Structure 1
């Protein structure tokens, strides 16, 4: 048992009571405009605005692979912008944009923050869309860094 619950639905409409964190993977270029982030921006402008500012001011902050930015969008909903993707295109030398080591660090931080907030975590199959990751590698990272800390994780699959 992975400690992850799978449901059909939209991760931007988390199916739970209490505090919720919606997690997703971002790139390290400051680009926002394809994939799951479109659904996030359709619901709330704050995560994109915060991410772009975080990237723009990266010389003065922690922006980079492995970093996490939590943005509150509603009284009980936060969005976790997790920088786990190098660039936006696959390369012959480095493969797909996903960086599992960076995602591992992001998820460790996410697990800690979710526990501090007494929150559940909600996400699509992060890192497996435009980032090109494999769920067989991502799921164990979620299990060990988030679910193993006693945080309920729900993964949303669309129809």
Structure 2
């Protein structure tokens, strides 16, 4: 939370700032369409050659993303400074060949969280990148009643 009036309540971020924020993070959410409904998967990623790269195994995520339009979202915050950000990247997900460059430079950095084979590397080629930065509002300004746990945390 912040009361610093020099920080705007909300600001649209230029694409360069969105990429800088994404480069400083490594976890986000991949949104895909599965049959008749949306699904969201947590992924770890790297920024590489003006795109996002992640790895996955065979399954729903791969089948629903490969060759299709996807959306990716990552967030971050500076709780001490009272500022948060959110970035969304939209575009097609395409397969990367498992070249020595991909395996050496990206594969070593994208460590799977779950066990199992994660030998598919996908790239999200951005068609749009958008983001915003905003002040973290104090809970008392959210406009609704506080539950007991929140109230206790403020005391």
Q: TM-score, normalised by structure 1?
A: 0.24
More helix by share: 1
Structure ranking higher in strand proportion: 2
TM-score, normalized by length of structure 2?
0.24
